[in-house]
Structure 1
Amino acid sequence: MIESNYLLTDEQMMQFITKGYLVLRNELPNQLHQSIMNQINHVMHNEGNPGNNILPRVPDIQQLFDTPTVKGALSSVLGPDYYMHPHRHCHYNQPGNETPGGGQWHKDGYWSSMRSHRPWWAMIFYYTHDITEDLGPTAIMPGTQYYEKFIDEQGETLLPTGKAGTMVLVHFDLWHRASLNVSPLDRYMLKFQFLRLRAPEIPTWNHQSKEMIVPEGTPATHLNLWQDVWDWLRGERLIKQDNNSTSEKRLLSLQINLESEDPTVRGRSADELGQLGAAASSCAPSLGNLLNDPVETTALNAAYALGHLETQGINTLISHLTEGSTLIAERAAYGLQAAGDEAIPELLRVMKHADEKRRALAAFVLGMIGSSAGEVTSTLISSLQDESEWVRRNAVEALGMIKNADESIVLALAKVLKDSLRSETNDASDSNNQTAKTSYVVSQRYITNKIGYTAALSLLRTGHVGDVREAVSSLAEALHSQDRYVRAYAAEALTHLRTAEAVDILIRYYRSSRWCPDTSKTSTF
C-alpha cells in the first residue's frame, strides 16, 4: 500500500491532464544512479543496445521503479495495479550529435488501434546522471498529447533538467524528441512504458476538490476535454449544470463566433458552449461543422462540446461518425466518448454500419465508455466474427475495458486468442498481402499478431472473472506465440491469475526462458 503522501495532488493531476507531464525527483542515492550508468555504459559500448532486455541486463534499474515516489505517481495516474509494458529502451545521445535539432518531433508508436485521450497509458523518462540542456535531454511540447498533427512553432519546447535520478512522467501521446547534445559527455535516458489495467472507479491520488482548477500557463484551452479526463479519472460523470438562465443573446453571440476567421475565437466559443450543456443544443449543427475545422484544436473543442449537449449533441456526432470523412469520424468518436452511456443505443446501431471504419470507431467508443448496459457485451462478442480485422481488434480491446466483465467475455477472449495463435502458422506474408488494402493492418509492424496481442492484453485485464480454466489454457498456448508481446502479456496474465495450474505453467516456461544479466559475448562460463 502506497503512503498517501507519495500520491499526486489535485494540482499535479491537473498539470498532467492539461500539460501532459510531471517531473519527479527520485530519492535514491547518487551512488546507485552512478552504478546504473556505469553498467549501461559498459553494455552499450561492449554489447550494443539491449533494447527490451535493458532491465534484465541491468537489474538495478528496477529499484528506481520500486520507490514510493514513482509508484505513487504511477498509481495516481494509472491506478494501483498498473503494469510495466515489456517494451523499454535505452536512448543513447552521443556527444556532438549531428542530427539537426537532435531528432524529429514525434509521438511513440501506439499499442492500441486508436490513440486514447484518457490516460490508459503513460511513459517515464529516467536520467542516470545530472541532466542539463547541454547534454541534450528529451524535449517535450506541453499540452500536445491530444493532437494528431504537430503544431510546430505554435508550441512551447521544454527541456526538463535536474539531478541524477530525474524522471519525467509523460502522457503516452505527448509530442517529444531528442535534443542536440553539445556536451563532451554521453547522455543516457531510459524510456519505460506503463499501462492501466482497469477503468477508474474512484480517484487514486490525494483528491481534495471536485472542482477542476486549470493551472496557469496552459498552452491552449480545452475545458470540456480536460473535464472529461478529470471526471473519468475520478470515476464520475460530468454533473449537468442548470444553464437555463443563459440568454438568447449570449447563445447567438457564441454561435456567430463559431464562424469567426480567428481559430482561437472559434475554439473558445465551442468550449464555452460545451460548458453550457443542453442549453446550447441549438448550436449543435454549427459545432458539427467545426469537426472539419482545419485547426485541430478548434475541432477537438467542438467534438467535446457536442458530447456535453445531450441528445442533440449525440445525434450530431453520430451523423458525422457515420457520414463524415475518416478524420471527421475519428473526432466525432472522441466526442461520443464524452457523451457516455446516453450514446450507447446509437453506437450499437453504428455497429451494423456497412463501412468497417464506422463499425471500428463505434467499438472503440463503447470500450472507452466501458459500460455493459443493454446489448453492449453481446454486440461486441458478435463483432469478434466481423470480416474486418480493425473491427475485431477494437471489439477485443473494448471487451477488456468493460467495467463489469462477466464470464462470457473471458470465454470469448480465450477463444479469440487461441484462434489468433493458429493463424500464426499460416504464411504471414500471404495473410498480410490479403489485407494490405487496409492501412490499419499494415501499420504497427512491431506487433505481428495484432488480434492475439490485444486478446492477451484484454485477458490480463479480465481473465480473473468466473471460471478461469479457459483463460489459463489459452494463455499457456500464447506463451509460445511468434509475437514477443503476446508472450509477455500471457506471462503477466498468468502471474495475475496465480492458480496452481497457472503457476506450474509459468515455472516450466521460465526454466527455459530465464535471462542471465551477467552473460555477454565476452563471458566464457
Structure 2
Amino acid sequence: MLDSNYLLTDEQMLQFITKGFLVLQNDLPFQLHNRIMKQIHYVLHNEGNPGNNILPRVPDIQQLFETPIVKGALSSVLGPDYYMHPHRHCHYNRPGSEMPGGGQWHKDGYWSAMRSHRPWWAMVFYYTQDVTEELGPTAIMPGSQYYEKFLGERGETYLPTGKAGTMVLVHFDLWHKASLNISNIDRYMLKFQFLRLQAPTSPSWNHQQKELLIPEGLPAVHKTLWQDVWQWLRGDDASKQVRQVASEERLVALRQQLENEDPFNRGCAADELGLLGVEAASCASSLAPLVNDHTETTALNAAYALGQLGTPGVGALIQQMTVGSKLAAERAAYGLHGAGVQAIPQLLRMLHHEDQHRRALAVFVLGMIGSSEGEVVSSLISSLHDESEWVRRHAVEALGLLKHPGEHAVSAIAKVLLASLQDELNADTLHKESTKPNANFQPYITNKIGYAAALSLLRIGQTGQVDQVDETVHSLEQALRSKDRYVRAYAMEALSHLRTEEAVDILIRFIRSARWCPDTSKASTF
C-alpha cells in the first residue's frame, strides 16, 4: 500500500492544474540510471529505436515507476488505479541537433476521441543522466495545456533540469518541443503515457484546503476553468462551490468590461462572472458573444463562465453548439462540463442534430458529465448506431466514462467490439471506413471503434460493475486477435481486471505466445 506521505500536496496539485507540469526527483541510485542509459545507447545504435518495446527491452526502467514518489504523483493526478498506456518512446537528442519534428512546438496526438481539459491523461518524461539546459531537455510551455492555438511569444518557455532520474509529470495536452542540445554528449529521454480509468469521487492526494490558491507566473488567468478541474478532482460538483457575492453595480461594471478593447480585460471580466455563478445569470446574454472571441484565452473564460450561470448560461452554450461556428461549438462543449446534470436534457436533444460534429460534441459532454440518470444510457446506446463513425466512437467511449452504465451498456459495448473485429477481417470495409470524415485522424490506431470499446470495457471492468461477464470475456478474448496493437493491449488489461477463471486462463494462453524476451535481438546469438 502506498504511503500517503508520497501523495502530492494541495500546492503541487494546483501547480499541475494551472501550469500543467511537476518536476519529480526520484531517489534511485545513479548507478541504475547509468545502467539504463548504457542499455538504451546499445539498443539505439545496434537495433534501432524499440518504440513501444522499450520497457521489456530494458526491464530496469520498470523500477522507476515503482517508487513511492512516482506512484504517489500519478495516483494524485490520475487516481490510484491509473494505467500505463502501451505506447512509449525513446527520444534521442544528439549534440548540435534538435529532434526532427519534435523541434517544433506541438501537442502529442491524442488517443481518445476529443481532448479533455480535465486530467484523464498524463505523460512522464524521464532523463537517464544529469540534465542541464545545455543538454537540450524537452521545453514546455507552462499553463498552455488548455489551448488549441499556440501562444507564441505570449507563452513562457521552461526547460526542466535536474540530476539523473529526473522525471517531469505533464498534462497530456501541454505544448512542448525538443530544445537544442548544445553539449558534446547524447541526451536520452523516455516518454511514457498514463490514463485515468474512472472519474474521481474524492481527492486522491493529500488534500487540506478547499480554496483554490492561484500560483504566480502564468500567461493568463482562468480561475473558473481551474476551479472546474479542482472541483472535479475533489469529486464535487459545481453546486458545492463557494461563490463570491457582487452588487448590481459590480455586475453592470463587469458587463461593460466585457466590451473592453483589451482581450485581457474582457477575459478577466468573464472569469469573475463565472466565479459569481448564478448570481451573474443576468449577464449571460452579454457574455455569450465572447465564446467567439478571437483571443482564445478570453473565449475559454467566457465558455466556462456561462457553464456556471445556471439555465441562461446553459441555454447560451447550447445555442453555440447548435448554430455557432465549429470552434465556438467546441468551446461551448467545454463550458458545459461545469454545468453538470442540468445540461443533460438539452444535450440529449442535441443528439438528433443534423451535423455529425455537433452530435459528437453532445455525446462527449455527456461522457464528461458522467451521469447515468434518465435517458442518458439508452440515448448513448442508440448513438452507437449513428451513421457517423465519429459519433459512434464518441458514444462507445462516453459509455465507459459513466459512473453507473449498467448491464445493457456493457453488453452493447461488447457487441460493438465484436463488430469492429469483424470489420477488420473485411478489407473492403476497412477501405470504405477510411474515406469517412475524421477516420484518418490518428493513423496509429487502425481500429478506432474497437480501440474505444476495449478501453471502455477496461474502465468498466476495473470497477467491478460488469454483470454480463461471459459476453464481455468473449469479446475481449476475440480482441486479443485484433490487428490493432492497442486494442490487444486494452483487452489484455481488461481481462486482468475481471479476474474470472476463464479470463485468467485466456490471459495465460495469450501471454505464453506473446511473451517478449528482452535479451533477444538481431545482435544476439540465440
Shift of 1:446: 0.6
Partner of 1:42: 42
Residues 498 and 98 of structure 1: is their aligned pair in 2 closer, same or farther, counting only changes over 3 Å? closer
Shift of 1:99: 6.3
Moved more, 23-32 or 456-465: 456-465
AA matched with 1:205:
W
Partner of 1:513: 514
- Separation (CA, whole Å) in 1 of partners of 2:425 and 2:35: 44
| Matched ranges for 1:96-495 at <5 A | 96-97=96-97, 103-238=103-238, 239-241=240-242, 246-427=246-427, 431-433=430-432, 436=435, 438=437, 440-463=438-461, 464=464, 465-495=466-496
- Separation (CA, whole Å) in 1 of partners of 2:402 and 2:445: 24
Shift of 1:266: 0.5
| Matched ranges for 1:68-83 at <5 A | 68-83=68-83
Partner of 2:21: 21
Q: Is the 8 A contact 2:333 2:362 kept in 1?
A: yes
Q: Is the 8 A contact 1:432 1:442 kept in 2?
A: no
Moved more, 281-290 or 299-308: 281-290
Q: Is the 8 A contact 1:123 1:192 kept in 2?
A: yes
Shift of 1:435: 5.5
- Separation (CA, whole Å) in 2 of partners of 1:510 and 1:281: 57
The CA deviation string for residues 38-71 of structure 1, in whole angstroms up to 9 with x for no partner, is 1000000110100000000000000000000000
Q: Is the 8 A contact 2:482 2:488 kept in 1?
A: yes
- Separation (CA, whole Å) in 2 of partners of 1:102 and 1:482: 28
The CA deviation string for residues 426-478 of structure 1, in whole angstroms up to 9 with x for no partner, is 226x644556351x211111111000000000000113421311111000000
- Separation (CA, whole Å) in 2 of partners of 1:351 and 1:282: 28
Shift of 1:252: 1.4
Q: What is the number of equivalent residue pairs in this alignment?
A: 522
When normalised by structure 1's length, the TM-score is: 0.97
The DSSP-based 3-state class of the residue aligned with 1:91 is strand
The CA deviation string for residues 163-220 of structure 1, in whole angstroms up to 9 with x for no partner, is 0000000000000000000111010000000000000000000000111111122221
- Separation (CA, whole Å) in 2 of partners of 1:444 and 1:472: 27
The DSSP-based 3-state class of the residue aligned with 1:442 is coil
When normalised by structure 2's length, the TM-score is: 0.97
2:88 equivalent to 1:58: no
- Separation (CA, whole Å) in 2 of partners of 1:411 and 1:74: 31
Q: Is the 8 A contact 1:281 1:309 kept in 2?
A: yes
The DSSP-based 3-state class of the residue aligned with 1:174 is coil
Q: Is the 8 A contact 2:75 2:204 kept in 1?
A: yes
In structure 2, stretches of 5+ residues that fail to align are none
Q: List, as ranges, runs of 4+ consecutive aligned residues in structure 1 with deviation greater than 6 Å.
A: 99-102
- Separation (CA, whole Å) in 2 of partners of 1:232 and 1:19: 17
Shift of 1:406: 1.4
- Separation (CA, whole Å) in 1 of partners of 2:8 and 2:112: 27
Moved more, 367-376 or 272-281: 272-281
- Separation (CA, whole Å) in 2 of partners of 1:175 and 1:269: 26
Q: Is the 8 A contact 1:102 1:180 kept in 2?
A: no
Q: Is the 8 A contact 1:241 1:276 kept in 2?
A: no
Shift of 1:277: 1.0
- Separation (CA, whole Å) in 2 of partners of 1:434 and 1:82: 32
AA matched with 2:15:
Q
Q: Is the 8 A contact 1:100 1:180 kept in 2?
A: no
In structure 1, stretches of 5+ residues that fail to align are none
The DSSP-based 3-state class of the residue aligned with 1:441 is coil
The CA deviation string for residues 228-257 of structure 1, in whole angstroms up to 9 with x for no partner, is 0000000001225566x6222211111111
- Separation (CA, whole Å) in 2 of partners of 1:242 and 1:67: 40
Moved more, 85-94 or 493-502: 493-502
- Separation (CA, whole Å) in 1 of partners of 2:383 and 2:436: 20
The CA deviation string for residues 332-363 of structure 1, in whole angstroms up to 9 with x for no partner, is 00001111111111111111111111110000
